[in-house]
């Protein structure tokens, strides 16, 4: 990475000695985390610290209806939470060190669904989606807690295309790099949903699909949490280093 230099004077014992201060000329990627329904930013913080160590500016936050705004749980809609995500994205971009052309969004479950919708209205270079959920387009203004859970389970078993679903439509237009992470024993987001997402990313620059063997939806075992953290940090590292040296993966790949 290139650097800019500035000649400075350093005062010592009433005298001045010459020095040169160097700092990176380029700005750094921004990484935005969005948690799932019923979660919080707390679990993202450890991963954010690891990714910040790669030279990124990270932002975690709590969606409305969670943590300090838990009182809104019964009334919050998908529209409200997408607005939350957009506001968080816009706040991240105000950081003076962030390269506004190099933004990664990392979403889990409901957060993954929201992340795809964000990519349709804001510039996103990298999308990392862990067990991204799917919701039908109708009832957009209905409080999320009132959506029919049994119907959702049936809906997610269907093979859906970008024509069928707004989130998948956003995926079809996405041209950046994608990480899809699936849990082998997921009772909420089944394999069919991951296949719908994977097929929708037809224009992605690269696609990596990983399955966490033995893991459930929430990654309730510590070793599954650790496996996902390693996977995510390795992928982000590959993307960030590739961005700095101009060397990206040029084909779609799948790892299981």
Instruction: Give me the helix-helix angle, 191-200 and 166-173, nearest 10°.
Output: 40
Farthest-apart Cα atoms in the chain, separation: 77
What pLDDT, on the 0 to 100 scale, is given for residue 225?
Answer: 96
| Tally of CB atoms within 10 A around 110 | 24
Please indicate, yes or no, if residue 119 is contained in any of the structural domains: yes
Mean pLDDT of 140-161: 97
Give the three-class secondary structure for 70.
helix
Residue 90's domain spans which residues?
A: 27-245
Residue 195 lies in a domain: yes
Domain count, the chain: 1
CA distance 92 to 171: 22
Over the stretch 36-87, which tens digit does the pLDDT of each residue have? 999 989 889 989 999 999 989 999 999 999 999 999 999 999 999 999 999 9
Q: Is 0.85 surpassed by the pTM of this model?
A: yes
Determine, yes or no, domain membership for 252. Answer: no
72 in a domain, yes or no?
yes
Residue 248 has pLDDT above 60, yes or no: no
Closest CA to 56 of 232, 246, 250: 232
Q: Each residue of 226-244: pLDDT tens digit?
A: 999 999 999 999 998 777 6
Phi, psi of 16 (to 5 degrees): -125, 130
User: pLDDT by residue (tens digit) across 168-193?
Assistant: 999 999 999 999 999 999 999 999 99
- What CATH number did the domain enclosing 63 receive? 3.40.50.1820
């Amino acid at each position: 990475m290139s650097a800019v230099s500035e000649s400075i004077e350093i005062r010592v014992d009433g005298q001045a000695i010459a020095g040169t201060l160097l700092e990176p000329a380029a700005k750094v990627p921004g990484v935005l985390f969005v948690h799932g329904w019923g979660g919080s930013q707390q679990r993202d913080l450890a991963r954010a610290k690891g990714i910040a160590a790669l030279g990124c500016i990270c932002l975690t936050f709590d969606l409305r209806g969670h943590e300090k705004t838990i009182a809104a749980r019964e009334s919050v809609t998908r529209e409200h939470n997408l607005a939350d995500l957009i506001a968080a994205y816009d706040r991240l971009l105000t950081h003076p060190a962030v390269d506004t052309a190099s933004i990664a969004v990392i979403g889990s479950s409901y957060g993954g669904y929201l992340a795809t919708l964000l990519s349709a209205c804001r510039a996103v270079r990298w999308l990392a989606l862990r067990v991204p959920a799917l919701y039908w387009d109708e009832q957009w203004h209905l409080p999320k807690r009132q959506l029919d859970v049994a119907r959702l389970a049936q809906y997610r078993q269907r093979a859906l295309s970008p024509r069928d679903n707004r989130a998948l439509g956003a995926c079809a237009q996405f041209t950046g790099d994608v990480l899809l992470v699936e849990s082998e024993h997921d009772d909420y987001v089944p394999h069919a949903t991951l296949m719908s997402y994977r097929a929708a990313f037809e224009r992605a620059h690269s696609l990596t699909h990983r399955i966490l063997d033995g893991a459930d939806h929430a990654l309730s075992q510590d070793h599954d949490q650790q496996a996902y953290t390693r996977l995510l940090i390795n992928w982000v590292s590959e993307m960030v280093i590739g961005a700095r040296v101009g060397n990206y993966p040029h084909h779609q790949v799948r790892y299981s």
